[in-house]
């Protein structure tokens, strides 16, 4: 099974693979991918059960890591730099400890290798509450979702999952039943105490993102799994650090990726 993807930049450049977060898709990274493509051969990927990639009833980080392994083999990529945000960051961490020889450098955006409490109930409720059979337009969907998701930016992000079929009806791109069924596995830390990735790793925390990377509490955990890690903070960014402060995010990544 093939993962939906887009490529940017010159084929002879170093490969850089970007992994989106929960409810996200490769389109979320288009602007930054074009910037990175000035220096890298960039691959943005829809992970399984997201975007236009295949749906399966199973979902966990070991499967997502295996998907990336097969993707790299299919595209003849022996080694790449990885950038992963949130859920995509956990995929990237799992892949790095599973296949350290295939990862040159690792960038993890606003997520740590730890278990998380549930925090997406309102979002799952908003998806479930939307009666797609009655929706005539994206604006109608936005109006219905507003009651449960008051933040406009979050709604716009979630509604990128809304797709219109050829017969005019609407559906969801992401596999909501699978994501909800395996939500506890999405929240969990999939790494074992013995896992370690001893290559350069950059963790980027959004300065106003509260629960995803908690400093100094999470430092010991991060350095346990990633002994060569650096932790940087982008002050005026929340959890969607790359979308809220793209220039600072790009600058930090490029500084790290090009360091000898």
Residue 86 annotated among the catalytic residues of the structure: yes
Residues 14 and 63 in one domain: yes
Rg of the chain on CA atoms, in Å: 18
Boundary residue ending a domain (159, 181, 203): 181
Known catalytic residue: 41?
A: no
For residues 87 and 29, membership in a common domain is answered with yes
Residues 29 and 64 in one domain: yes
Rounded CA gap, 159 and 226, in Å? 35
- What range does the domain containing 153 cover? 121-181
Q: Find the catalytic residue in 5, 53, 65, 86.
A: 86
Cα–Cα dist 14/8, whole Å: 12
258/144 Cα distance (integer angstroms): 46
Shared domain for 132 and 245, answered yes or no, is no
Dist. CA 9–CA 41, nearest whole Å: 5
Same domain, 12 and 110: yes
Catalytic residue among 20, 41, 85, 239: 239
Among 181, 208, 232, which residue terminates a domain?
181
Same structural domain, 84 and 50: yes
pLDDT at position 85 is 98
Q: What is the CATH number of the domain that holds 45?
A: 3.40.50.1820
Count of structural domains, the chain: 2
Please report the pLDDT score of residue 117 as a whole number: 95
Rounded (10°) angle between helices 61-74 and 87-98: 70
State both tokens at 16. Answer: 């850089």
Whether cis (ω within 30° of 0) applies to the bond prior to 216 is yes
pLDDT for 257: 98
DSSP 28: G
Read off φ and ψ for residue 220, nearest 5 degrees: -60, -40
Say if residue 31 is in the same domain as residue 155. Answer: no
| pTM, two decimal places | 0.96
Whole-angstrom CA distances from 164 to 112, 138, 242 are 35, 9, 28
Say if residue 126 is in the same domain as residue 235: no
Q: Beta strands 229-234 and 201-206: pairing type?
A: parallel
Could you read off the pLDDT tens digit of each residue along the chain, which spans 260 residues?
A: 899 999 999 999 999 999 999 999 999 999 999 999 999 999 999 999 999 999 999 999 999 999 999 999 999 999 999 999 999 999 999 999 999 999 999 999 999 999 999 989 989 999 998 989 888 888 999 999 998 899 998 999 999 999 998 888 899 999 999 999 999 999 999 999 999 999 999 999 999 998 999 999 999 999 999 999 999 999 999 999 999 999 999 999 999 999 98
Same domain, 110 and 203: yes
- Dist. CA 210–CA 136, nearest whole Å: 37
Which residue's structure tokens are 């010991």?
220
């Amino acid at each position: 099974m093939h993962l939906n993807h887009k490529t940017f930049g010159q084929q002879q450049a170093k490969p850089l693979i970007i992994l989106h977060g929960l409810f996200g898709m490769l389109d979320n990274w288009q602007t930054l991918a074009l910037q990175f493509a000035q220096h890298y051969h960039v691959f943005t990927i829809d992970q399984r059960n997201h975007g236009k990639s295949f749906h399966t009833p199973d979902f966990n980080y070991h499967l997502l890591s295996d998907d990336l392994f097969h993707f790299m083999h299919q595209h003849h990529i022996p080694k790449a730099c990885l950038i992963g945000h949130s859920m995509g960051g956990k995929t990237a961490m799992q892949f790095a400890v599973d296949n350290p020889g295939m990862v040159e450098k690792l960038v993890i955006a606003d997520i740590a290798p730890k278990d998380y409490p549930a925090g997406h109930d309102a979002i799952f409720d908003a998806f479930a509450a939307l009666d797609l059979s009655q929706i005539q337009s994206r604006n109608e969907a936005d109006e219905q979702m507003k009651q449960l998701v008051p933040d406009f930016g979050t709604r716009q992000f979630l509604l990128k999952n809304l797709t219109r079929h050829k017969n005019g009806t609407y559906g969801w791109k992401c596999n909501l039943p699978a994501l909800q069924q395996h939500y506890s596995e999405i929240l969990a830390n999939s790494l074992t105490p013995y896992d370690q990735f001893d290559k350069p790793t950059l963790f980027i925390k959004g300065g106003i993102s509260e629960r995803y990377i908690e400093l100094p509490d999470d430092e010991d955990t991060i350095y346990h799994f990633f002994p060569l890690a650096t932790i940087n903070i982008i002050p005026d960014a929340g959890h969607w650090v790359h979308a809220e402060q793209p220039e600072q995010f790009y600058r930090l990544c490029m500084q790290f990726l090009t360091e000898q």
